[in-house]
Amino acid sequence: MTLSNNTEGATGQVWFVGAGPGDPELITVKGQRLLRQAGAVLYAGSLVNEAATLYAPATCLVRDSKDMTLEEITGWLIEQARQHKTVVRLQTGDPGLYGALVEMVQPLDAAGIPWAVVPGVSSAMASAAAAGETLTLPEVTQTVILTRVAGRTPMPAGEDLESLASHHTTLCIFLSITLLSDVQRALLAAGWDEEAPILVVQKASWPHEEKIVRGTLKDIREKCRAEKINSQAMIIASPALGARHWPEIRHSKLYDAGFSHRFRKAVKP
């Protein structure tokens, strides 16, 4: 009997594991451990780098879900959980963001299969990291909005990009690279300058495939077209973009010599 084999009649557990943005080293230690002990792994083929499945043992059943319907996916997970102690559904980035988590777990609940989620590094964070950017900066922006524009999935009332952009905070825009003209229109309508910096990162963290494009609200679409970027890309609009080159920035209070906190007393000037 191998470690992953279930005892007869018992039920295993399905783990929704965030694979991270693509670099196999960006999965969590826990996610990696679960893959190593998995009896079956179902990965989201369109985005998760197959390399993440490298961690699964040779005896593990590994399957790509790209041609499966929701019913097939949940049916497969239920069937595998009846045979293996550990079943992993490997998802891109973090499973709680645009990951269809609820529609997958409801049938598991109905079938009495236990499940749990292991968070992952979202592509929003990986994209900022790839470009050496911060998503928050003191007195510039202290808020990050994770959103998308309406495609086939409509946006709920009050969440259209123009309304969200009117706060002039950092915006990480998922699933919208083919809708860059909608993004441009919404930000301009919300009062963003056409010279405002915009960052697009395709395949953030993917070894040898990552592309970083910097432009302005006005020219980013053209630049992405020139780079043939039309999928798997994050759009970041933020008043903090490019701050590493600013001559002066407001420093975080945390490291300010004149600021006391739990671990350090302020130095009197």
Contact flag: residue 65 with ligand SAH (CB under 6 A): no
Alpha carbon distances (Å) from 103 to 56, 74, 116: 25, 9, 14
* Contacts for 154 with CB less than 8 Å, ≥ 6 apart: none
Contact flag: residue 93 with ligand SAH (CB under 6 A): yes
Select from 35, 56, 88, 94 the one that contacts ligand SAH (CB under 6 A). Answer: 94
Using the rule CB under 6 A, give the single segment among 5-13, 57-65, 197-205, 220-228 that binds ligand SAH: 197-205
| Among the listed residues 76, 125, 70, 77, the one whose alpha carbon sits nearest the alpha carbon of residue 97 | 125
Q: Kindly tell me which of 171 and 234 has the beta carbon lying closer to ligand SAH.
A: 234
* Contacts for 62 with CB less than 8 Å, ≥ 6 apart: 40, 41, 43, 53, 56
Residue with the shortest CB distance to ligand SAH? 93
Q: What mask of x and - would describe binding to ligand SAH in positions 204 to 243, judged by CB under 6 A?
A: xxx-------------------------xxx---------
Using the rule CB under 6 A, give the single segment among 5-13, 91-99, 156-164, 248-256 that binds ligand SAH: 91-99
Using the rule CB under 6 A, give the single segment among 24-32, 94-102, 218-226, 256-264 that binds ligand SAH: 94-102
Contact flag: residue 53 with ligand SAH (CB under 6 A): no
Residue by residue, DSSP assigns 99-131 as S-HHHHHHHHHHHT--EEEE----HHHHHHHHT
Q: Kindly tell me which of 34 and 173 has the beta carbon lying closer to ligand SAH.
A: 173
Please state the closest distance from residue 78 (CB atom) to ligand SAH, in A: 23
| Among the listed residues 98, 138, 106, the one whose alpha carbon sits nearest the alpha carbon of residue 122 | 98
Select from 42, 62, 90, 97 the one that contacts ligand SAH (CB under 6 A). Answer: 97
Structure tokens at 67: 């041609």
Contact flag: residue 135 with ligand SAH (CB under 6 A): no
Structure tokens at 148: 């998308």
Q: What mask of x and - would describe binding to ligand SAH in positions 8 to 47, judged by CB under 6 A?
A: -------------xx------------------------x
| Among the listed residues 186, 184, 208, the one whose alpha carbon sits nearest the alpha carbon of residue 198 | 184
Contact flag: residue 115 with ligand SAH (CB under 6 A): no
Q: What is the DSSP-derived secondary structure letter of residue 85?
A: S
Q: What mask of x and - would describe binding to ligand SAH in positions 149 to 188, judged by CB under 6 A?
A: -------------------------xx-------------
* Category of 124 on φ-ψ map: left (φ > 0), alpha (ψ -120 to 50) or beta: alpha
* Angle at alpha carbon of residue 131, lines to 100 and 146, rounded to 5°: 30
Alpha carbon distances (Å) from 75 to 38, 42, 62: 18, 12, 15
- What is the binding site for ligand SAH (CB under 6 A)? 21-22, 47, 92-94, 97-99, 122-123, 126-127, 174-175, 201-206, 232-234
